[in-house]
Chains A and B, each alone.
Chain A
Amino acid sequence: MLKYLMAGIAFGIILVKAELVSWFRIQEMFRLQSFHLYGIIGSAVLTGMISIWIIKKFGIRTISGEKINIPDKKFNKGNIYGGLIFGLGWALTGACPGPLLAQAGGGATVIAVTLLSAVAGTWVYGRFREQLPH
């Protein structure tokens, strides 16, 4: 479990130092006033793609020797409706779930309320899942 803690710590530091946790930077992104976040997301995806290509090409296994397995995501209408709803929340809070955690840890204690509310949102989704279009 320690390895996941270390990976999380490194990720949290990157989120803060890249200013991905900044409400201001998110506002700039959605007003097309800065390239910064587009550059980050674009180069992150490119790095991820090349890594997965290398893993597949050379049949790289996990440290314990397992075959690496990436489950397929199946499309449903939730990708659209949920995506739009999350987008609204992203621009409002200026943070997606990772940055919310880093903000709360970084001393913006009030963000714990936002996180709790996000847990509540997840719960409400789970409760009414059957009634929602998918």
Chain B
Amino acid sequence: MEQLSAMLRQPWPWYVAGPLIGLNVPLLLIIGNKTFGISSSLRHVCAACMPARIPFFNYNWKQEKWNLVFALGILLGGFIAMEFLRDSTAVTVHPHLVNELAGYGIHDYSSLIPKDLFTWSQLLTPRGLIMMVGGGFLVGFGTRYAGGCTSGHAIMGLSSLQWPSLVATCCFMVGGFIMANLILPIILSI
């Protein structure tokens, strides 16, 4: 029991986590004929709270309530994992990245989410505003424009051999590489 608890607390290796994530695909299909995807929940929130006569948000979102419940579950799962399955050791990161980030004054590795960047006090700095508010906007706008996110396209779409999802996934990666290597250094030095 002790051993099991210690194992659960450690970061899980990719060959455990990856297949578990992949199992969401058959799980949702079998329990309710649902296709795995998360970003649609953002659209349902818009449809439920602010449809504003926009055709894209005028549909019966209540039929898609499962997706909002699933999203709520993820929120709770995050809480449970952080509260009860926490690993107290610092995040180990590639030494090159540690060096690079030190140049921008990022030194705190005690949390999975860097405390030097994502906090309420950082929110009101230009850097924090770009990263949290700007970044969130790009995620919401981009996923809907692309018709899905990493779960809907990269995992569900590729698993069911849909070529538009392969195109979208490649574009996610290209966008990520451009941001991380070319644009983010500029934003971090603000």
Could you tell me if B155 and A13 are in contact, using CB atoms closer than 8 angstroms?
no
> Would A105 and B32 count as touching, CB distance under 8 A?
no
**By the criterion CB–CB under 8 Å, are A125 and B141 in contact?**
yes
B147 within 8 A of A: yes
Q: How far is the CA of A54 from the CA of B26 in the complex (A)?
A: 10
Is B103 part of the binding interface, using a Cβ–Cβ cutoff of 8 Å? no
> Is A49's CB under 8 angstroms from B158's CB?
yes
Asked whether A102 and B113 contact (CB < 8 A) given A11-B21, A13-B85, the answer is no
- The answer to whether A43 and B14 touch across the interface, beta carbons within 8 angstroms, is yes
Residues of B within 8 A of A103 (CB): 78, 112-113
| List of A residues within 8 angstroms of B179 by Cβ | 30, 87-92
B190 is an interface residue with CB less than 8 A from chain A: no
Q: Are B28 and A7 in contact (CB under 8 A)?
A: yes
Contact with B along A30-73 (1 / 0, CB 8 A): 11011111011111111111011011000010110010111111
Q: Are A33 and B94 in contact (CB under 8 A)?
A: yes
CB < 8 Å A-B pair total: 490
Residue interface mask A83-116, B partner, CB < 8 A = 1: 1111111111111111011111111111101111
Q: Is B105 an interface residue (CB 8 A)?
A: no
Query: When the two chains form their complex, are residues A52 and B97 in contact, meaning their CB atoms are under 8 A apart?
Result: no
Contact (Cβ within 8 A) A97 B56: no
- B85 CB, nearest partner CB in chain A, Å: 6
- Inter-subunit contact A93/B167 (CB<8 Å): no
> In whole Å, how far is A80's beta carbon from the nearest beta carbon of chain B?
5
Given contacts A4-B28, A86-B171, A97-B139, 20 further A-B contacts (CB under 8 A): A11-B77, A16-B112, A22-B91, A23-B114, A26-B176, A31-B181, A44-B155, A45-B154, A60-B30, A80-B167, A81-B145, A83-B146, A86-B172, A88-B176, A96-B39, A110-B132, A114-B136, A121-B138, A121-B141, A125-B140
A: residues with CB less than 8 A from B are 1, 3-31, 33-37, 39-49, 51-52, 54-55, 60, 62-63, 66, 68-76, 78-98, 100-111, 113-127, 129, 132
Q: Which B residues are closer than 8 A to A by beta carbons?
A: 8, 11-12, 14-36, 38-39, 41-43, 45-46, 50, 52, 54, 56-57, 65-67, 69-83, 85, 91, 93-94, 96-97, 101, 109, 111-114, 117-120, 122-123, 130-151, 153-165, 167-181, 183-184, 187
